Structure 1
Amino acid sequence: MGLFSRKNHFDVDGRTVIITGGSQGMGRGSQRFHAISADVTKAEENTRLLEEVTQWNDGQPPDIVWANAGSSHPTLFIDTPLDTLRSQMEINYWAATYLAHATLYLWLKPTTSSSKPEHTGTAAAKPRHFIMTGSVACFVGLAGYAPYSPAKSALRSLADTLRSELNLYNGYRRGHPEQGPAADVKIHCVVPGGIKSPGLEHENQIKHPVTKVLEEGDPTQTEDEVAVAAVKGLESGGYLITTQFLGSAMRAGTLGGSPRNNWFVDTVFAWVVNVAWLFIGPDMEGKVFKYGKTNEVQLPS
């Protein structure tokens, strides 16, 4: 996006949107109309979800799909049953992956008269958006998040990869307007921090004390605050979208090969954060070491 772009890049007026995981958290803060029950950890359920929405929408596929379902089980790695490690990957990575696969397969089909969204020309068609909800946990590894962080890190990597791959199909559409997909497809990854919800209350009941030490003072947001910040980032044309300042700082320091939302701000912010991490990193490592040195730690029996 441009340095000072004011264009709305996420126009939802008159469009059909799917949001999974709408019972609590950010999904509940975004939810509007029709509810469908589905187990999104199963590939076939994601396909059914899309088929049902398409039928409900008079044969037109949804314009925006938001893979928002997820949950966190913050416990120490060796204390976590293998079944829980697997289920955390299923809900936090595979659910979004299944939905992305089914959605993109539907959206990237060759153009037909019934699949064309409203537009006056190939370039003028409103883009379709596939959005994944990640977490700031993908930026920094914290003691106590081993069941959760790897799944969200994988999700961020998937978003980076799909964003690159979709250039292939979007480009083909420009060169073959009668054969290419009906509209461009854009990928986004929203990465909130702590959200005040029943899920967070449950997490705090099972977190190891050292995790609470590391998160002491971290800001939390209401469901609506996160939803508003996420949509604002989408409207600004953002790709990897944070919802509060701490998350933005974490993002700036770990962008790597991920696209920049704003090349100037992100570059300057990254310089500042990388210097700050010379002090923050050792401090966080020291807190974990100090906790182990001064408290009882349960070892495997």
Structure 2
Amino acid sequence: MGFFSRKNHFEVDGRTVVITGGSQGMGRGLGKALAQKGANVVLVARNQEKLDAALKYIAASAKYPQSQRFHTISADVTKPEENARLLEEVTAWNDGNPPDVVWANAGSSHPTLFIDTPIEILHSQMDINYWAAAYLSRATLKLWLKPATSSSKSQESQTRPTQPRHFIITSSVACFVGLAGYAPYAPAKSALRSLADTLRSELNLYNGYRRGHPDQGPPTDVKIHCVVPGTIKSPGLDQENQVKHAVTHLLEEGDMSQTEDEVAVAAIKGLESGGYLITTQFLGHAMRAGMLGGSPRNSWLVDTLFAWVINIAWLFIGPDMEGKVFKYGKTNEVSLPA
């Protein structure tokens, strides 16, 4: 990113952004924040009534009320054909142009102990938290990586300089650290981080081809990002807390939480700074630094130094968290399989 660079790596003014899971929570916050920056926003979710309310809410925040456009699409993104359909509808609505930014944000958490969780919920958690983003990413990349036609290149040159397109995946800090009670949810979010790492590597192939074959390659570069929020104050959190095990509540005592607006602003700020694996609050920053592995660094110096500190701190934090779970089991009743 560069220590002193002020370049905006995520310019959305006048561009079209698609957000799945856009009717409430983080998705609604993203819609509002992007509308304030001049984006044309398409919200995707299953419930049309909630979508209509969210659309009215974010449209009121438009930077250019007279010219910005907003749209909703009701779709079940756990189905591959629905992801293809929504992209086709967005392209038609966007005057025949594919969206510039697609944000795979749909997800939900059912935090229960693994052996207590019905198999159908384990499947549904993977469907909404992993497969929905995987289906959308595949459909989006197949659309974006088509070779540019001469007419589309001419149209692009007349409007604005070619800017990269961005595909963004919302994961969770649950992808960094395993916590008792998140077995239905955390593996899917971990898979999303791995998917983002892999797609980022693969996109070098197509972006490189574009450089070497300007008359044959895709019209723009494509960038992959993974946003990793922590606890978000939302209707979804209220539902989670109704089923969450007491030991999970214990482990999360004192955790930071953010409103939908706070997490949206932090996520977009990270994108504007050129980040790839983007956390949205201090606890998330610390967890990311200690668990980077082979993921690209946002800043090689800061991330390396922070990782040294966190890896030393984890010598104490890790055993403490495991000890809390052990002690809870020792001193409380625990349901066992029949």
TM-score, with length taken from structure 1: 0.97
Counterpart CA distance in 2 for 1:113 and 1:86 is: 45
The offset of 1:10, in angstroms, is 0.1
Q: Which residue of 2 aligns with 1:12?
A: 12
Moved over 6 A (4+): none
Q: Which residue of 1 aligns with 2:156?
A: 118
Counterpart CA distance in 2 for 1:115 and 1:152 is: 36
Q: Does the C-alpha gap of structure 1 residues 195 and 170 become closer, same or farther in structure 2, counting only changes over 3 Å?
A: same
Q: Does 1:152 align with 2:189?
A: yes
* Aligned residue pair count: 300
SS of the residue 2:150 aligns to = coil
The offset of 1:5, in angstroms, is 1.7
The offset of 1:186, in angstroms, is 0.1
Instruction: Encode CA deviations 1:74-97: one digit per residue, 9 max, x unaligned.
Output: 000000000000000000000000
The offset of 1:39, in angstroms, is 0.2
Q: Which residue of 1 aligns with 2:297?
A: 260
Counterpart CA distance in 2 for 1:272 and 1:157 is: 24
SS of the residue 1:35 aligns to = strand
Matches within 5 A, 1:1-301: 1-31=1-31, 32=58, 33-116=70-153, 118-119=156-157, 125-301=162-338
- Contact 1:65 1:129 (C-alpha < 8 Å) held by counterparts: yes
The offset of 1:24, in angstroms, is 1.3
The offset of 1:114, in angstroms, is 4.7
Structure having greater relative contact order (Cα 8 Å, sep ≥ 6): 1
The offset of 1:113, in angstroms, is 3.4
- Contact 1:60 1:114 (C-alpha < 8 Å) held by counterparts: no
Query: Structure 2 counterpart of 1:208, which letter?
Result: H
The offset of 1:218, in angstroms, is 0.1
The offset of 1:118, in angstroms, is 2.8
Counterpart CA distance in 2 for 1:155 and 1:194 is: 17
Counterpart CA distance in 1 for 2:151 and 2:263 is: 36
Counterpart CA distance in 1 for 2:152 and 2:236 is: 38
Q: Does the C-alpha gap of structure 1 residues 12 and 164 become closer, same or farther in structure 2, counting only changes over 3 Å?
A: same
- Contact 1:119 1:126 (C-alpha < 8 Å) held by counterparts: no
The offset of 1:137, in angstroms, is 0.2
Instruction: Encode CA deviations 1:229-269: one digit per residue, 9 max, x unaligned.
Output: 00000000000000000000000000000000011110110
Instruction: Encode CA deviations 1:168-188: one digit per residue, 9 max, x unaligned.
Output: 000000111110000000000
Q: Which segments of 5 or more consecutive residues in structure 1 lack a partner in the other structure?
A: none
Instruction: Encode CA deviations 1:119-169: one digit per residue, 9 max, x unaligned.
Output: 48xxx5200000000000000000000000000000000000000000000
The offset of 1:35, in angstroms, is 1.0
Q: CA RMSD in A?
A: 1.4
The offset of 1:115, in angstroms, is 4.1
SS of the residue 2:74 aligns to = coil
